[in-house]
Chain A
Amino acid sequence: MTRIDAKFAKLKAEGKKAFVAYIMGGDPDLDTSLAVMKGLPGAGVDVIELGMPFTDPMADGPTIQLAGQRALDGGMTMDKVLDMVRAFRTGDSETPIVLMGYYNPIYARGVDRFLAEAREAGIDGLIVVDLPPEEDSELCLPAQAAGINFIRLATPTTDAKRLPAVLKNTSGFVYYVSVTGITGAAAAQAAAVGPEVARIKQSTDLPVIVGFGINTAENARDIASIADGCVVGSAIVKEIGAGKPLAEILARVADLASGAHSA
């Protein structure tokens, strides 16, 4: 049982929905980013998604593209992303951490080396946008074997024929992408997303968490109410990008979390 499994079991026992927050590792620099990360659990975040910066983030909108650029300009590397996780773990051994990003920085490091280091650093799951089930032998299967959850994206184009393949080698939770599009795009509509989540839940016992296009507490509540929880990324990253003080960033996170938790 990974930290992710334990967290969702606990939330289920408490009858609570999950609030997942995304930040870009090292945005705008390692110290600021680590301070935000350390503050997330206290602001009500149940699971942390930590972005690995990449020069060519093809599934991301301008907000997260710019965050990645800031991080890279600030000298962020994979070594430093792992250091951030290690530093976080010195004060928090419970909050699950999911690394999110693209395959090339992992491939460049070597999959086996990356997985060993990720596990040692205290990473619990991976979301790698450009690895569909067709490429499971690359990272998904080795990650599962190393005891790290490989969390898959399901999307509005994942039809009934394809859904079993998408669910097959996944674990931790299923990340349902609320819209066809990039991060920070059109607002997610609970009325449209609800039936899709229900459809996925018929085929899996894993929690289904909805992300993309969630940017207010009300939106977070509405979406969380028809799923097992929701993810907010761009709305938080925008605050960091605007150079807001830590307390203000975390207040915004707490507001979004309270929305999800009120569902």
Chain B
Amino acid sequence: MAEDGINSFMTGPDEQGRFGIFGGRFVSETLMPLILDLEAEYEHAKTDPSFWAEMDDLWKHYVGRPSPLYFAPRLTEHLGGAKVYLKREELNHTGSHKINNVLGQILLARRMGKTRIIAETGAGQHGVATATVCARFGLQCVVYMGAHDVERQAPNVFRMRLLGAEVVPVTSGRGTLKDAMNDALRDWVTNVRDTFYCIGTVAGPHPYPGMVRDFQSIIGRETRAQLQEQEGPGRLPDTLIAAIGGGSNAMGLFHPFLDDPSVRIIGVEAGGKGVDERMEHCASLTGGRPGVLHGNRTYLLQDADGQILEGFSISAGLDYPGIGPEHAWLHDVGRAEYVSVTDTEALEAFQLLCKLEGIIPALEPSHALAHVTKLAPTLPKDHIIVVNLSGRGDKDIFTVAKHLGFDMKV
């Protein structure tokens, strides 16, 4: 696809770890040698059939892949327009897409001889996935989680502890995902020799954004094959929609379709209480500008002086002031569109899917669903939308109950 001199949208990152001006390796010197080692190890593993054979085996027998591509008949009928398919990542072991990536990173950590795994988590889905795979391989696991998130995602905290992980509540800053990532980086720089940092999204220093995307791209590759099985040979989706915090579930769905010009690609950011000057949202692309944080250059919520602002979202998993650098680039070159959805809209979509399809979605993909409810009615009945149902909502029922005024205490 040739647009603005770009032959392919799938070749990044370059050797400096950049997607256009975004990405890079903005880390302290202590971490650089390890990041270069990781890059070398990943480059080697990428072309090693035994690495992918082990991944495929674990994906199939441990995670339960492929995840179904499900045509949602009652949601489609209700919206009265485009056909809506759900990529059922919530049916994976541990209940979200996060485990796709964790397996890849833990296999790399084992190849590098690392014995201690650290991770940051927002909603707790990445933390649970990391704790799970560490239990599976007998590795020590420490998960950093903002104190505010520990409170609003209590079920996942208990899950991680059951799985043998140490959960460290982070009280610096506002106690959300950004602060958890700061403390994970501080741990890593202190224990750099034996510790592997398992980053949960397509952000951080190179090689993480591209590597995590590669591990998540199984979502898009399966979608491509599954849609043809159901809709006929050669049939591509017309529109892809996914929610974005850091953006890993979205990159996983989008990437295999970037060079198919007929496929419209839409990322949905968390609009919180509304994207305006109050800045009570997490829509980095819609309401932020380029800056450098957590190892990469990307769009960030920040003030005029370059101080990072706290995001706001009902969804702990989207509550991050940045976004993966590849999304920042796709936004700037215009290959993908980015919109935002408010907390209220996401809550409505959450309830709609429960009632119409018997599926309780997580609050994160509820943002994507909310955009589907706006878009699908405007499109013809032969238009196919695939939305990434990236996680299940069991963890969110307490938050939702609170917002709906339902007393959970018995």
Contacts and interface: CB of A to CB of B under 8 A. Distances in A.
A82 to B, nearest CB: 12
Nearest to B191: A180
A135 B26 contact: yes
Contact of A131 (B26, B192, B300): B26
B29 A105 contact: no
B308 interface: yes
Contacts of A129: 28
Given A54-B307, A58-B182, A65-B172, A103 B26 contact: yes
Interface string A137-158: 0000000000000001111111
A72 B172 CA distance: 14
Interface of A, helix, strand, loop or mixed by DSSP = loop
B264 interface: no
B307 A132 contact: no
A181 B190 contact: yes
B261 interface: no
Contacts of A135: 24-26
B111 interface: no
Interface stretch (A30-38, A106-114, A234-242): A106-114
B307 A153 contact: no
B359 interface: no
A60 B185 CA distance: 10
Interface string B29-66: 11111100000000000000000000000000000000
24 contacts: A59-B189, A61-B186, A78-B306, A103-B26, A104-B292, A104-B300, A104-B306, A105-B305, A105-B307, A107-B291, A107-B292, A107-B297, A107-B306, A109-B305, A132-B28, A134-B25, A135-B25, A155-B30, A157-B31, A157-B193, A180-B30, A180-B192, A181-B189, A182-B186
Interface in A53-84: 54-62, 65, 72, 77-78
A185 interface: yes
B108 interface: no
B306 A158 contact: no
A180 B308 contact: no
B244 interface: no
B307 A55 contact: yes
A157 B33 contact: yes
Interface of B: 16, 24-34, 172-173, 178, 182, 185-186, 189-193, 291-295, 297, 300, 302, 304-308
A166 interface: yes
Interface in A157-192: 157-159, 162, 166, 177, 180-182, 185
A55 B291 contact: no
B29 A108 contact: no
Given A130-B292, A153-B28, A158-B29, 16 more contacts: A54-B306, A57-B182, A77-B305, A104-B302, A104-B306, A108-B302, A130-B28, A152-B29, A153-B29, A153-B30, A155-B28, A156-B30, A157-B30, A157-B192, A166-B29, A180-B193
Contact of A177 (B27, B30, B173, B182): B30
Contacts of A132: 25-29, 32
B291 to A, nearest CB: 5
A197 to B, nearest CB: 15
A70 B104 CA distance: 41
A106 B306 CA distance: 7
Contacts of A60: 186
Contact of A159 (B33, B186, B297, B307): B33
A22 B163 CA distance: 43
A161 B172 CA distance: 36
A55 B308 contact: yes
A239 B233 CA distance: 72
Given A65-B172, A132-B32, A162-B33, A108 B26 contact: no
Nearest to B206: A134
A56 B304 CA distance: 16
Nearest to A155: B30
Nearest to A57: B182
Contacts of A177: 29-30
Interface in A25-48: none
Task: Give the 7 A-B residue pairs with the shortest CB-CB distance, closest first.
Answer: A108-B306, A105-B306, A181-B190, A155-B30, A104-B306, A130-B26, A55-B308
A126 B173 CA distance: 26
B28 A59 contact: yes
A180 B190 contact: yes
